[in-house]
């Protein structure tokens, strides 16, 4: 299985939260991998760079280097994002475009999203999520 890590989980990781790191390590079996969706990479790195948080940037880069590298935002992902946006809008539920792109990235690639933001993703039935914070 491949797990995609959401921004909120990476925030815990770069803060060196031992409980979240332990929970993440328990989640991964020997044949599991993780990736950082391209939009998550952007969200986390831009924030840490803006804050000039060099130690956290080093932790983030180390964590990124351990991930599988799938940085592609393909047409299928964009089309899935458009589909999800339309479905949410039609039901009167909206979430940020970033979350829609992250969800679409996971759905199209068959990844499970590791996130503590269940309320952002709860109305996207195709998306598989797991929460390691609780």
Q: Which two tokens stand for residue 71?
A: 């940085």
- Which pTM value belongs to this model? 0.92
Task: Give the confidence band of 69 by pLDDT, cuts at 50, 70, 90.
Answer: confident
- The residue-averaged pLDDT of 74-81 equals 96
Residue with tokens 């031992």: 18
Within 10 angstroms of residue 89's Cβ, the number of other Cβ atoms is 10
Tell whether the model's pLDDT for residue 54 goes beyond 80.
yes
Buried b (16+ CB within 10 A) or exposed e, 104-132: bbbbbbebbbbbbbeebbebbeebebeeb
Q: What topology does CATH give the domain 2-129? A: Rossmann fold (3.40.50)
The DSSP H or E segment spanning 34 is strand 33-35
């Amino acid at each position: 299985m491949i797990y995609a890590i959401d921004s909120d989980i990476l925030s815990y990781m770069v803060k060196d939260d031992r409980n979240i790191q332990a929970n993440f390590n328990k989640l991964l079996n020997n044949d599991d991998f993780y990736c950082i969706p391209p939009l998550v990479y952007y969200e986390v790195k831009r924030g840490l760079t803006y804050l000039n948080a060099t130690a956290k940037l080093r932790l983030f880069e180390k964590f990124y280097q351990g991930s599988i590298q799938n940085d592609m935002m393909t047409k299928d992902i964009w089309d899935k994002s458009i589909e999800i946006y339309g479905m949410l809008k039609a039901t009167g539920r909206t979430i940020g475009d970033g979350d829609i792109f992250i969800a679409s990235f996971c759905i199209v690639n068959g990844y499970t999203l590791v996130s503590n933001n269940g309320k952002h993703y709860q109305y996207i039935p195709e998306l598989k999520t797991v929460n390691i914070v609780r």
